């Protein structure tokens, strides 16, 4: 898909809440590299590698004149209002991201995810500018899907056929679990309703696992990076549950193309909710993923099982066909390529001692090898 980037005379004033985080810093970098937009990052730097991400961003083309950083908290409604009033586009990624942390401290989770998001949409409404506003919600807002034994048979066949028939569409029943699911679900519904009730052009992306270089690998962020970085650090990988949980994975680069498409086709996407993820072609079980890391990165992976964590869905596969229909977007990078990308980034930035040439991932070979581990 060819995405037209900004024309030279464009005056996109982009505000990114959570712009120092994993997804936010990638999106800021994409905008600086591919468009002429000015980028305003609003972040409280609570994610521990936020300063590193900002240093990386400052090396982007035109960063000196086009990037502004505000270190502030989305719970501060005045600070949010001040930032929003000059924005023509808003991307809201700032969040408390951990299910476990939400159980330990539900008030903070509520204040950041629910009230913080309310501050953002309310500031957008009150600005009177009708800024385009995209919010990243989560697949955890859906009812837990518990496949029976026969469903597992269906799943196996569908993996091989690359079918979408067991994947989750946007009409799937909402069912919020745990404070994190409730606070993100509430935010998701507020953002959506501000399009219906007040005409703010909002878009909600319900994301499953997104992964790529520069992800922190901490427990509350992504199992994908956590597994890969632990293996490369020669530390054991902890699998919560029995490892048979089934997930789809999306490359962060493919998500950036989805943001660009949502903006480009905003006449169609405004007011919509979309499931965004790797989909049926990018499905893997956690146990399979261990074998995949070993094959693609040529490392020995030690792993240990821990009790399942609250909120873990046994199966989740994204059906993104609604978004494809509206924008022609499709993910491009396979799970193997995502593992390769993260390994390559780690090698070049953190561990030059690891062999320079990682084996090029060969999708079918790797997937065949990992199936043996999962069985």
Ligand X SMILES: NC(=O)c1ccc[n+]([C@@H]2O[C@H](COP(=O)([O-])OP(=O)(O)OC[C@H]3O[C@@H](n4cnc5c(N)ncnc54)[C@H](O)[C@@H]3O)[C@@H](O)[C@H]2O)c1
The set of catalytic residues is 180
Cβ count within 10 A of residue 47: 23
Instruction: Considering only the stretches 2-10, 88-96, 98-106, 313-321, report the one whose residues sit in contact with ligand X under the rule CB under 6 A.
Output: 88-96
- Out of 28, 32, 37, 74, which residue is the one contacting ligand X (CB under 6 A)? 74
Closest to 276 (Cα-Cα) out of 216, 227, 212, 209: 209
CB of 225 to ligand X, least distance (A): 9
Rounded alpha-carbon distances, angstroms, from residue 30 to 203, 250, 254, 260: 19, 17, 11, 9
The region, left, alpha or beta by phi > 0 then psi within -120 to 50, assigned to residue 279 is left
Q: Are 370 and 295 in contact (CB under 8 A)?
A: yes
- Taking CA 215 as the corner, what is the angle to CA 213 and CA 217, rounded to the nearest 5 degrees? 125
Residue 46 in the binding site for ligand X (CB under 6 A): yes
Residue 285 in the binding site for ligand X (CB under 6 A): no
Closer Cβ to ligand X, 21 or 213, answer by number = 21
CB of 296 to ligand X, least distance (A): 20
Instruction: Considering only the stretches 7-15, 143-151, 206-214, 264-272, report the one whose residues sit in contact with ligand X under the rule CB under 6 A.
Output: 206-214
Q: Are 47 and 19 in contact (CB under 8 A)?
A: no
Report residue 315: phi and psi, to 5°.
-140, 135
Residue 248 in the binding site for ligand X (CB under 6 A): no
- Out of 3, 45, 69, 294, which residue is the one contacting ligand X (CB under 6 A)? 45
Q: How many positions of this chain bind ligand X (CB under 6 A)?
A: 29
CB of 290 to ligand X, least distance (A): 19
Instruction: Considering only the stretches 39-47, 169-177, 293-301, 326-334, report the one whose residues sit in contact with ligand X under the rule CB under 6 A.
Output: 39-47
Kindly identify the residues of this chain, within the stretch 92-131, that bind ligand X according to CB under 6 A: 93-97, 112, 116
Q: Which residue minimizes CB distance to ligand X?
A: 21
Cα–chain center distance at 77: 25
Closer Cβ to ligand X, 15 or 94, answer by number = 94
Query: Rounded distance, CA 325 to CA 39, Å?
Result: 29
Residue 14 in the binding site for ligand X (CB under 6 A): no
CB of 72 to ligand X, least distance (A): 7
Q: Look at the alpha carbons of 287, 207, 363, 236 in this order and tell me if their dihedral is positive or negative.
A: negative
Closer Cβ to ligand X, 122 or 373, answer by number = 122
- Out of 102, 119, 136, 295, which residue is the one contacting ligand X (CB under 6 A)? 136
Strand partners, 92: 17, 135
Cα–chain center distance at 171: 20
CB of 175 to ligand X, least distance (A): 17
Q: Are 318 and 275 in contact (CB under 8 A)?
A: yes
Q: Are 368 and 295 in contact (CB under 8 A)?
A: no
Closer Cβ to ligand X, 137 or 373, answer by number = 137
Distance between terminal CA atoms of the chain? Answer: 38
**H/E segment holding residue 248:** strand 246-251
Q: Are 309 and 99 in contact (CB under 8 A)?
A: yes
Q: Look at the alpha carbons of 210, 214, 219, 220 in this order and tell me if their dihedral is positive or negative.
A: negative
CB of 206 to ligand X, least distance (A): 8
- Out of 28, 54, 73, 270, which residue is the one contacting ligand X (CB under 6 A)? 73
Instruction: Considering only the stretches 28-36, 44-52, 159-167, 292-300, report the one whose residues sit in contact with ligand X under the rule CB under 6 A.
Output: 44-52
Instruction: Considering only the stretches 87-95, 317-325, 336-344, 355-363, report the one whose residues sit in contact with ligand X under the rule CB under 6 A.
Output: 87-95
Give the helix ranges, DSSP H, for 167-312. 178-198, 223-232, 252-264, 266-269, 286-297
CB of 309 to ligand X, least distance (A): 15
Residue 84 in the binding site for ligand X (CB under 6 A): no
Residue 24 in the binding site for ligand X (CB under 6 A): yes
| Contact residues: ligand X, CB under 6 A | 18, 20-24, 43-47, 50, 73-75, 93-97, 112, 116, 136, 138, 207, 209-210, 221-222
């Amino acid at each position: 898909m060819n995405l037209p980037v900004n024309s030279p005379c464009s005056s996109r004033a982009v505000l990114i809440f959570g712009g120092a985080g994993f997804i936010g810093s990638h999106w800021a970098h994409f905008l600086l590299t591919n468009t002429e937009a000015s980028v305003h990052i609003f972040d409280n730097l609570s994610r521990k590698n936020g300063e590193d991400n900002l240093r990386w961003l400052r090396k982007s083309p035109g960063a000196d004149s086009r990037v502004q950083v505000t270190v502030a908290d989305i719970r501060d409604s005045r600070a949010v209002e001040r930032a929003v009033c000059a924005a023509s586009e808003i991307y809201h990624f700032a969040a408390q991201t951990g299910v476990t942390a939400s159980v330990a401290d539900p008030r903070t989770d509520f204040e950041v995810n629910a009230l913080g998001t309310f501050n953002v949409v309310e500031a957008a409404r009150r600005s009177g500018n009708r800024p385009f506003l995209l919010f990243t919600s989560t697949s955890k807002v859906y009812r837990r899907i518990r496949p029976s034994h026969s469903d597992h048979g269906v799943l196996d066949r569908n993996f091989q056929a690359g079918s979408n028939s067991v994947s989750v569409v946007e009409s799937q029943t909402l069912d919020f679990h745990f404070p994190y699911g409730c606070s993100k679900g509430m935010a998701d519904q507020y953002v959506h309703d501000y399009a219906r009730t007040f005409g703010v052009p909002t878009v909600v992306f319900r994301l499953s696992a997104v992964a790529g270089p520069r992800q922190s690998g901490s427990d509350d962020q992504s199992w994908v990076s956590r597994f890969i970085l632990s293996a490369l650090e020669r530390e054991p990988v902890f699998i919560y549950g029995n490892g048979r949980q089934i997930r789809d994975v999306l490359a962060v680069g493919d998500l950036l193309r989805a943001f660009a498409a949502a903006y480009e086709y905003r006449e169609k996407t405004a007011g919509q909710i979309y499931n965004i993820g790797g989909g049926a072609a990018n499905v893997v079980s956690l146990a399979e993923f261990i074998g995949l890391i070993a094959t693609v990165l040529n490392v020995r992976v030690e792993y240990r099982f821990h009790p399942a964590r609250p909120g873990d869905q046994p199966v989740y596969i994204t059906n993104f066909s609604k978004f494809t229909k509206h924008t022609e977007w499709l993910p491009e990078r396979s799970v193997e390529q995502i593992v390769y990308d993260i390994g390559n980034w780690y090698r070049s930035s953190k561990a030059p001692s690891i062999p320079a040439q990682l084996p090029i991932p060969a999708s079918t070979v790797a997937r065949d090898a990992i199936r043996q581990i999962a069985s």
